[in-house]
Amino acid sequence: MELVVLNTSGKETGRKVTLDETIFGIEPNQHAVYLEVKQYLAAQRQGTHKSKERSEIAGSTKKLKKQKGSGSARYGDIKSPIFRGGGRIFGPKPRDYRFKLNKALKRLAKKSVLSAKMRDNSIMVLESFNFDAPKTKEFITLNTALGFEGKKALYILPEANKNVYLSSRNLAKTKVLTYNEISSYDLVHAGEIIFLEGAIEKFQENLKK
């Protein structure tokens, strides 16, 4: 399995990169993808929700009426949940929503997304490039040359590049990450995935560990 390397003008350079079929050519496992995306989204939750129960409400603890004989429901003090301003029954409490997944499943999820994207012809390899200074206009020109204007695009770099990252930061549908930062959520969320020439080898090695 091979992909042609394109230049920043969107034209073929004549070079090709070899893709590992155990990464880009497997039968996608949708459940593995679901679990990793769920884990990613769960980790984004603050978990700071909180409501007061009756023991936390400020108010009198005096029993409002006798237990029996009134002909109506029995209740205790004014902080009872049946009254307006009373405590909430089984209300939300601060909690951590994160959960663990094993490495093998997370690798399978990434492989599944990449294989599905490969079938849709949504993966390309681009020659390495750099900007002399952070310029959003230059990144817009690059997206236009590659045909990604108005599309979601994920650029995967072999190493951190401050100028490239800052140039893309103001573009709502463009995201730049290094090969070891990406999650299945990033891959699923991207419409087009662009590996820089040096990143795809490192990414494949990373998934084999």
Residues 58 and 127 occupy one common structural domain: no
Q: What is the CATH number of the domain that holds 126?
A: 3.40.1370.10
Could you tell me whether strands 2-6 and 12-18 are parallel, antiparallel, or unpaired per DSSP bridges? antiparallel
Say how many CA atoms lie within 13 Å of 116 toward its Cβ. Answer: 16
Task: Compute the average pLDDT of residues 121-136.
Answer: 89
Nearest alpha-carbon partner for 136 in 186, 179, 190, 172: 172
Confidence check: pLDDT of 7 > 90:
no
Residues 61 and 125 occupy one common structural domain: no
Residues 9 and 72 occupy one common structural domain: no
In b/e form, how buried is each residue of 16-31, taking b as 16+ CB within 10 angstroms?
A: ebebbeebbebebbee
Question: What distance in Å separates the CA atoms of residue 91 and residue 163, rounded to the nearest whole number?
Answer: 47
Residues 81 and 25 occupy one common structural domain: no
Work out the pLDDT band at 75, boundaries 50, 70, 90: confident
Cβ–Cβ under 8 Å, residues 87 and 55: yes
Given 91, 117, 146, the domain boundary residue is: 91
Enclosing domain of residue 70: 51-91
Residues 171 and 110 occupy one common structural domain: yes
Give me the residues paired with residue 16 across strands: 4
Residues 30 and 84 occupy one common structural domain: no
Both tokens assigned to 45? 């939750």
Residues 61 and 40 occupy one common structural domain: no
Looking at the structure of the chain, the number of domains it has is: 2
Residues 107 and 141 occupy one common structural domain: yes
Helices (H), the chain: 21-24, 30-44, 103-119, 136-146, 162-168, 184-189, 197-208
Residues 119 and 188 occupy one common structural domain: yes
Three-state DSSP at 3 gives strand
Sheet with 2-6, strands from edge to edge, namely: 12-18, 2-6, 123-126, 192-196, 153-157, 174-178
Residues 148 and 199 occupy one common structural domain: yes
pLDDT by residue (tens digit) across 190-207?
989 999 988 888 888 888
pLDDT of res. 209: 66
Given 91, 122, 156, the domain boundary residue is: 91
Confidence check: pLDDT of 12 > 90:
no
Residues 32 and 127 occupy one common structural domain: yes
Question: What distance in Å separates the CA atoms of residue 6 and residue 134, rounded to the nearest whole number?
Answer: 22
Given 91, 116, 146, the domain boundary residue is: 91
DSSP letter at 19? P
Mean model confidence pLDDT for the chain: 90
pLDDT by residue (tens digit) across 151-182?
899 999 999 889 999 999 999 989 999 988 88
Residues 59 and 154 occupy one common structural domain: no
Three-point CA angle 177, 128, 124, nearest 5°: 70
